[in-house]
Amino acid sequence: MEYKHLILEREGPMAVLTVNRPDALNALNSKVLEELTDAVDGISKDKELRVVILTGAGPKSFIAGADIGEMAGLTPVENRHFAGLGAAILRKMETMDKVWIAAINGYAFGGGLETAMACDIRYMAETAKVGLTEVSLGIMPAFGGTQRLPRLVGAGKARELIYTAARFDAQEALKIGLVQAVLPADKLMAGARELAAKIVANAPLAVAYCKAAIDRGLQEDFDRAQAQEIDAASILFSTEDKREGLTAFVEKRKPTYKGR
């Protein structure tokens, strides 16, 4: 698919995916969601790709949210399709074996913040603002916001932020654990790339198994999740990467991982 509202740039085992609709503050409409579906499917199938940095075009917005102009005319049935499409994209990002880093360069409200929350790690520009603001419009989060925010910041804080439709800054986001780093706007992408490089330096299968274990563990009770962790760790002991990593440590050299 040829993209009108996305830019996908490969940089070896890393890629940068930019939502490119700056005239609308990168708001998510049906066309953007269709393009995201195609892009995320392609990324999921790319065996050489390991880390994706997601950001927004222009200096103002990461993803301002869902396109209110389009949403205003949706029927309940049409909204179910729209919400289901967005939710499916984010869940695929969340559960695939690639690491997603959100580089929140500007406004991330509603569906924009929901998109960032589906990423593994969030870095935020010190000038950016975020929030789940849906209830101020008579609607509610529907891309997973009511589920991910409590898991990230705790139920009480999530309730406060969602019920008040609060818009808050980067320092508050850092304080409550919603983002992992706050950087000057002109250093945000460099910081995200530095993080991506650190992840890429490690064993691909080990990182992917850790991601899967974390995701499963958030859905299950501790004992079951821990048993699954042991199963996954044991499987890794049959891989070439395990042999290379431990041998390189003993030989005091940097390992060369092949993802198998």
Which residue numbers are catalytic?
114, 134
Angle between helices 204-217 and 222-236 (to 10 degrees): 170
C-alpha pair distances (Å), 227 with each of 34, 97, 212, 217, 234: 38, 20, 13, 10, 11
Nearest Cα to Cα of residue 111 among 132, 137, 91: 132
DSSP notation for 133-198:
-GGGGT----SSHHHHHHHHH-HHHHHHHHHHT--EEHHHHHHTTS-SEEE-GGGHHHHHHHHHHH
C-alpha pair distances (Å), 45 with each of 49, 50, 163: 9, 11, 38
Longest dimension (CA), the chain: 64
Question: CB within 8 A of 257, min separation 6: which ones?
Answer: 202, 203, 204, 241, 244, 245
**H helices then E strands: how many in the chain?**
11, 10
| Cβ atoms 92, 100 nearer than 8 A | no
The pair of structure tokens assigned to 158 is 């999530």
* Spatial separation of the C-alpha atoms in residues 168 and 245, rounded to whole Å: 43
Give the CA angle between residues 225, 85, 19 to the nearest 5°.
95
